[in-house]
Amino acid sequence: MAYSPAVTKAVVPVAGLGTRFLPATKATPKVMLPVVDKPAIQYVVEEAVAAGLGNVLLITGDGQQSIAEHFERALDLEARLAARGNQRALAAVRAPTELARVSYVRQDSPRGLGHAVLCAADHVGDEPFAVLLGDDLIDARDDLLARMIAARQRYGGSIVALMEIPADQVSAYGCAAFKPTDDQDIVAITDLVEKPDPNEAPSNWIVIGRYVCDPAIFPVLRETPAGRGGEIQLTDALRTLAVADRDVCADGGGVHGVLFRGRRYDTGNKQDFLRTTVEFACARPDLAPDFVPWLREFLRNLP
């Protein structure tokens, strides 16, 4: 049986302060920092659209007008570029405006990822929806979100994406315990812990920043107390849905995990941001022919 309705909406929380990137993030939202020549948020919206989710809600905070401006027409700039006959630049300026139907909800106070997702309740209504975190970029060649949407259609409930990492790194992430299903790369979640102490982690499989949530998450989030870091955690609400007796949680309960072995790029801290930038540059046909030989030479000469 295929669970319905279909997933059509994406929710992207972007209100974070980006404190690790100050002063760059003093006047520029973190998700507007460029990875090569596109702000991180544009990659994320492109990923949502590629998975068929053309309705994108951004959960924003203070001082983030530039995000909305990025997805709106810039008529003066377009006129100037047109006057110069610069079609390439014109296409780059227009592309983000033509991508998706982007709308915004304001998160009045930063009370955690769970609270940010709760701000989407009115917009989402009674439908399953995807959540994409702007710090994680998933390679466009790895169709993770499409696999997660297919898993939702097959199993119902909510879906998380799981990645295996070295055990000494799990305390930076949400971490899952699970059991197999008949599908090789889909598991049934039995426990979720947000940022566990390494010796208490249920496994070394972490939750990465892609989710498909059943709308049943909203009433659960309203009842979820502040958890790790004093914040309302999406992981805690998903745990409630994962462990709830299906009879008690009649609709929308159950959480499955899609095992992901593809390419995830983290932009949430400086080291990973730099690595991501270099990896993206090396994969770009317009840049790699010059950049890669230079990089090799640079590394050879590095003391």
Interface with ligand G1P (CB under 6 A): 113, 133, 135-136, 173-174, 194, 206-209, 233, 235, 268
CA distances from residue 107 to 16, 74, 111, 133 in whole angstroms, order as listed = 10, 26, 9, 15
CB 262, min distance to ligand G1P, A: 15
CB 76, min distance to ligand G1P, A: 36
47 or 135, CB closer to ligand G1P?
A: 135
CB 142, min distance to ligand G1P, A: 16
Nearest CA to 208 among 169, 157, 252, 150?
169
Where do the DSSP E strands lie in the chain? Answer: 9-13, 34-35, 38-39, 55-60, 101-106, 129-132, 136-138, 158-164, 174-180, 186-194, 205-213, 255-259, 264-266
206 or 255, CB closer to ligand G1P?
A: 206
60 or 235, CB closer to ligand G1P?
A: 235
96 or 257, CB closer to ligand G1P?
A: 257
CB 145, min distance to ligand G1P, A: 15
CB 206, min distance to ligand G1P, A: 5
211 or 280, CB closer to ligand G1P?
A: 211
Q: CA triplet 159, 165, 129: central angle to 5 degrees?
A: 20
CB 212, min distance to ligand G1P, A: 15
Which residue is at the shortest CB distance from ligand G1P?
174
Buried b (16+ CB within 10 A) or exposed e, 142-169: ebbbebbbbbbbebbbbbbbbbebeeee
The C-alpha atoms of residue 192 and residue 9 are separated, in whole angstroms, by 24
CB 179, min distance to ligand G1P, A: 20
105 or 208, CB closer to ligand G1P?
A: 208
The number of helix segments (H) and strand segments (E) in the chain equals: 11, 13
Q: Tokens for 185? A: 């790369």
The span from the first CA to the last CA of the chain, in angstroms, equals 61
The C-alpha atoms of residue 85 and residue 83 are separated, in whole angstroms, by 5
CB 102, min distance to ligand G1P, A: 21
CA dihedral 178, 180, 186, 192 (to 10 degrees): -10
174 or 253, CB closer to ligand G1P?
A: 174
53 or 207, CB closer to ligand G1P?
A: 207
CA dihedral 109, 111, 113, 118 (to 10 degrees): -70
